Amino acid sequence: MSTSTVTATQTTASRPQRLAPRKRSFGAWFADTGWRHVVAIVVSAFALFPLLYVLSASLNPKGTLTGSNQLFSAFGIDSYVRILSDPQSPYGLWFLNTLVIAVVTGAVTVFIGACAAYAFSRMRFTGRRVGLVTIVVVQMFPQLLAVVAIFLLMSSIGDWFPAIGLNTHTGLILVYLGGALGVNTYLMYGFFNTLPMELDEAARIDGAGHARIFFTMILPLVAPILAVVALLSFIGTVNEYVIASIMLVDVDKQTLVVGLTKLVANPRYADWSAFSAGAVMAAIPVMILFLFLQKYIVGGLTAGATKG
């Protein structure tokens, strides 16, 4: 027997023999991981059913919810054609108004909130602690309580400056910016605190000021929270109804939520099929923005909670 053969034999003998994996019983598997799959399936079905129901109702050519309990029992695009071609319901104009208001509100909210969060996180000034506490306390009160005050305030402002008063998109955007500034500032403040102060100190040694530090160093590092705030602001603006309904009177200036509600406001004939079709098309921009920003969402929502 050669030396190589002996060495190979010894090596094989020295290796521990792998035991065949023992099959677990169904009860053990279910107690370990199986119940998690069941919970995930139930939660997914609970979340998807309303979406499937709305999609099924939008394809119902009858225009009512009668028989909609049988999902996809009837197919037709009559409701989509009807809502897009009805001159009394300018869906395309509502869609454009909503996009403009939501995009502008989201962009300006992110910028103003980031500036305020940077000031609270990086600067020390009189009233800083009181300002942070005030932001939290103000958010305890729902915005619905201020509807009457907002209406009277914007009506008075419109007498002096009609461009930002009632029935204007600019006035509605300003109201949204004021309502969302507090919670977004506090959300960004927690994320800004996770960045080490040594970055700012090193930049100041090189002669950089607050503006350069903020735009060239801080903003790229806090991109996840900026994406989260932009997404939340966009979704909130698209879904908001109460303030938009009292601010926008003319049909050609209304948003999707306000316009679509009129389709089902008549108790004698509520065109639920057209309403569902409009809701399905209105969800497309939100889905696109969510898919575009999804890689930032998890990091943006969790990182700010570790340090405040």
pLDDT in tens, 229-259: 888 899 989 989 989 999 998 888 999 999 8
For residue 255, is it left (φ>0), alpha (ψ between -120 and 50) or beta?
A: beta
In whole angstroms, what is the distance from residue 12 CA to residue 45 CA?
53
Q: For residue 307, what pLDDT is reported?
A: 44
Question: What number is the average pLDDT over the span 192-217?
Answer: 84
Q: For residue 16, what pLDDT is reported?
A: 53
In whole angstroms, what is the distance from residue 226 CA to residue 113 CA?
9
In whole angstroms, what is the distance from residue 61 CA to residue 74 CA?
7
Instruction: Give the per-residue SS3 of 143-202.
Output: HHHHHHHHHHHHHHHHHHCHHHCCCCHHHHHHHHHHHHHHHHHHHHHHHHCCCCCHHHHH
Q: For residue 168, what pLDDT is reported?
A: 92
Place of tokens 């939501």: 102
Report the run of H or E that residue 269 belongs to, with start and end: none
Q: Residue 230 contacts by C-beta under 8 Å, 6 or more apart in sequence? A: 106, 107, 109, 110, 293
Judged against a pLDDT cut of 90, whether residue 78 lies above it is answered with no
Q: For residue 111, what pLDDT is reported?
A: 92
What tokens were used for 73?
């029992």
Q: For residue 19, what pLDDT is reported?
A: 52
Judged against a pLDDT cut of 60, whether residue 135 lies above it is answered with yes
Question: What number is the average pLDDT over the span 37-52?
Answer: 86
pLDDT band at 105 (very low <50, low <70, confident <90, very high): very high
- Whole-angstrom distance between the N-terminal and C-terminal Cα of the chain? 72
Q: For residue 305, what pLDDT is reported?
A: 43
Please choose, from the candidates 268, 276, 255, the residue with its C-alpha nearest in 3D space to the C-alpha of residue 78: 276
Number of H helices, E strands in the chain: 15, 0
pLDDT band at 274 (very low <50, low <70, confident <90, very high): confident
